[in-house]
Structure 1
Amino acid sequence: MEGVRTRPVLVYDGDCGFCTASVALARRWIRPRCDIAARQWADLEDLGVAPERAEYEALWVTPDGRVCGGAQAVAGLLSSARGVWPVAGAVLRLPPVRWAAHGVYRLVARNRHRLPGGTPACALPAGRGPGGRSPSRT
């Protein structure tokens, strides 16, 4: 059957040097069993992803179309790998670790333009976030 995904997809910001370096690191060391696509070249409509959401966080899209973002996207990526990585992914999904991971993800996302590999193009769009709120308040 055409168009049916059998692998999850990680969507990231291909214009961000920090995000691109993070994906390269994941491909090399974690070796997730998923497809990885920059939001700028991904068919977001086919993935069921709002372009606005893909601007402010990494997204994990399961083969059945469920979408999670931020730290939970990282948890999905880790869970798709082999070795010890799925344990780390499972831990990231547990409260209160999930709550702390969300805060850390937001902190990194807000400051990714200041991190190694980051450039001014990495800065999040102003006023973007869930429900139209600023990412700093999500």
Structure 2
Amino acid sequence: MTKPVFLYDGDCAFCTLCADFLERRVRTGAEVKPWQWDDLDALGIEQQAAEDAVQWIEPGFVKAGPDAIAVLLRRAQWYWKPLGWIASLKPVSWVLWPIYR
């Protein structure tokens, strides 16, 4: 893996719509892919984890759900970074998980 990967559920219409938005509007240098089209074993991700939540994967670092989205935003253009940092704060991330579900 040469660059980070952001996995989403390609069978979910909402997830696909959001991933399309990310690819068009949020430049991170990551590959944004449906987990169904990638080699999960090579990425070190179990299928159940990919089914449960989006995944941000880079060597030695994996985040899921809203934590993965926060990393993606922190790695994007300057105007997305504040949202990523806010979403990473513990009280905020605790609230985001139930909303994400």
Superposition TM-score, scaled by structure 2 size: 0.92
1:99 deviation in Å? 0.7
**Alpha-carbon distance in 2 for matches of 1:95, 1:52:** 25
| Structure number with higher helix proportion | 2
Q: Which of 94, 101, 126 matches 2:96? A: 101
Q: Which runs of 5+ in 2 are unaligned?
A: none
Matched, 1:72 2:64: no
- What is the aligned length? 101
| Structure number with higher strand proportion | 2
Partner of 1:96: helix, strand, or coil?
Answer: helix
Aligned residue in 2 for 1:7? 3
**Alpha-carbon distance in 1 for matches of 2:34, 2:82:** 26
Partner of 1:60: helix, strand, or coil?
Answer: strand
**Alpha-carbon distance in 1 for matches of 2:60, 2:42:** 9
Aligned residue in 2 for 1:90? 85
1:28 deviation in Å? 1.4
Q: What letter corresponds to residue 101 of structure 1 in structure 2?
A: L
Q: Which of 3, 12, 21 matches 2:17? A: 21
Q: What letter corresponds to residue 83 of structure 1 in structure 2?
A: W
CA offsets per residue over residues 71-102 of structure 1, 9 Å max, x none? 01111111121121122111111121111111
Aligned residues of 1:47 and 1:65 also touching (Cα < 8 A): no
Q: Which runs of 5+ in 1 are unaligned?
A: 107-138
**Alpha-carbon distance in 2 for matches of 1:60, 1:68:** 5
1:65 deviation in Å? 3.2
Structure 1 ranges of 4+ moved more than 3 A: none
Partner of 2:20: helix, strand, or coil?
Answer: helix
